[in-house]
Amino acid sequence: MSTEIKPIKCPQCGSEKHDDLGDKRFRCRSCGTEFFLDDDDITIHINHHFDAPRSTSFDSLRPDVLKKVALIVGIPLVVLFLIIIMPIFESRHIPKVANKTAIEVDDNILFNTIILCKNKATCFYIVNRSYNEGYDEEERDAKEGIYYGFKDCETGKVLVEHQLATRKDANKREIFSSPSSSMLQLSSPNRYLITFDNQWLYEVNTDKLLLNDLTLTLIQEKKALTTGIARISPLNYNEGKGLLIVNNLSEKYYYFPQSNRLYTEEAFTYAQRLNENELEGKKEKQVLFMLEHKENEGGQVGNGNLRLWRVPITYFPGDPNEFYDFWVFDGFYKSRPGNRIHNPQPIGNWFIGFNAIIMYYNSHFLLLKYNPIMGENANVVFQLRDNSGGIIWTKAIPHCQVSAYAVYDGKALWLSQYNWEKDSDAESRFVRLDIYEGTVTMREGLRTNYTLTDAEE
């Protein structure tokens, strides 16, 4: 049997140039691959470990070898660049993505009312705010507490919001510890005073959208109050646009912000009985509207028979007044000392309505609210009348709770509407009543439970 002689070629690069290492082992002179021959054929055994260092000129390498060398060397360099260099480059040139952590907010509404700010219906509110998620304990302690803000009723936009006190500070001062709060609206100029917890007096600045604490200023200005304030609350309109104040000696006083006068109880009662020519102070000719109530036959509750009265008066905005509707209806005002009521007259006919109130009035029109029937699910009726009692329009909405007063912005009347507590979150809405067309539209009210992202905070 003859032996076939085959050229020995490098299995890696195909070169026939090699060195004989003995024991049928060879090393390629081109690429350095070591291989050996078995008895039948060439078996590839690649070994990149060399017994001694070798220097190879790239000029002497073939193109295909150069490609392989480039791949072997280049790939690790590319990987190294991607791992180390690219992150540094990206951190300098790519903006960071904002953290989208969800922040769960729980607002307990302590006070809210619709007022006029620059002739726009605006909801002023005070809330006790808690954060359920999104902050660590230190951040939560700093951010939780009492907040106040102003929300545009038409657009639903929160115009401004401020933290009034942290939770720790509110507890220390014992402020807003109870939901007791009342508002006193002053005229000329349009001002709003609010009492909280029957001890604190604040003024709403409708121009700068701020809430100013007047308590300390009032105590410092009035000597009779230097012992401190034990109780403070607005008077009823029929007694005057003032505040009843009891100091810490249990002495009772009556304060009128528009004249900055402080009356003792005796002086207050005396001034009420002075006629309009005897009492010194600014006086205004006004027209009040009153509702006379009479039970239906059978004694049905809710005062179902109603009649409007138009009542001209002389009013002292900075001094004591005294007006009571029953004096008007039974004529008792005629014999009352210091009478400032002038020839009141009923207007319009008797009509049926329950739980009726006058929500707003001016010299041109008035807004009534009542239920047409007695019952848990009775509709709420809004009725606009002119100053002579004529009906302009009547609109009804499904049963709900509504605020006691409305605000007029020159085009529409605004009020707040609340669902019963059995409804989810006791959501509120702002109600807009167009005075010309009588259309009723709803706007989003105050939220109590909601989620924010960091970007919205």
**pLDDT tens, position by position, 106-126:** 999 989 999 999 999 999 999
Contacts of 322 (CB under 8 A, 6+ apart): 238, 239, 272, 273, 336, 338, 340
In whole angstroms, what is the distance from residue 14 CA to residue 64 CA?
Answer: 11
* Short-list 359, 187, 108, 186, CA closest to 201: 186
Average pLDDT over every residue of 303-324: 92
State residue 36's pLDDT score. Answer: 75
Instruction: Look at 27-41, 155-169, 197-211, 378-392 and tell me which has the smallest mean pLDDT.
Output: 27-41
State residue 324's pLDDT score. Answer: 86
Helices (H), 284-375: 325-330
Cα end-to-end distance, the chain, whole Å: 94
What share of the chain has pLDDT > 90, as a percent? 53
- For 143, list phi and psi in degrees, rounded to 5: -95, -30
Element (H, E) at 311: strand 305-315
Q: How far is CA 41 from CA 21, 31, 159, 255, in A?
A: 18, 21, 90, 118
Reported as a pLDDT band with limits 50, 70 and 90, residue 63 is low
In whole angstroms, what is the distance from residue 418 CA to residue 175 CA?
Answer: 26
Average pLDDT over every residue of 374-392: 92
In whole angstroms, what is the distance from residue 172 CA to residue 392 CA?
Answer: 53
In whole angstroms, what is the distance from residue 28 CA to residue 35 CA?
Answer: 8
Q: Higher model confidence: residue 110 or residue 187?
A: 110
In whole angstroms, what is the distance from residue 14 CA to residue 286 CA?
Answer: 115
How big is the chain, counted in residues? Answer: 457
Whether the per-residue pLDDT at 142 is higher than 70: the answer is: yes
State residue 140's pLDDT score. Answer: 84
* Short-list 220, 185, 215, CA closest to 198: 215
Reported as a pLDDT band with limits 50, 70 and 90, residue 136 is confident
State residue 68's pLDDT score. Answer: 58
Reported as a single tens digit per residue, the pLDDT across 250-287 is 999 999 999 999 999 999 999 999 999 999 999 999 99
Reported as a pLDDT band with limits 50, 70 and 90, residue 331 is confident
Reported as a pLDDT band with limits 50, 70 and 90, residue 197 is confident
In whole angstroms, what is the distance from residue 201 CA to residue 217 CA?
Answer: 10
In whole angstroms, what is the distance from residue 305 CA to residue 260 CA?
Answer: 42
Per the confidence metrics, is the pTM higher than 0.85?
no
State residue 91's pLDDT score. Answer: 46
Residue 276 one-letter amino acid: E
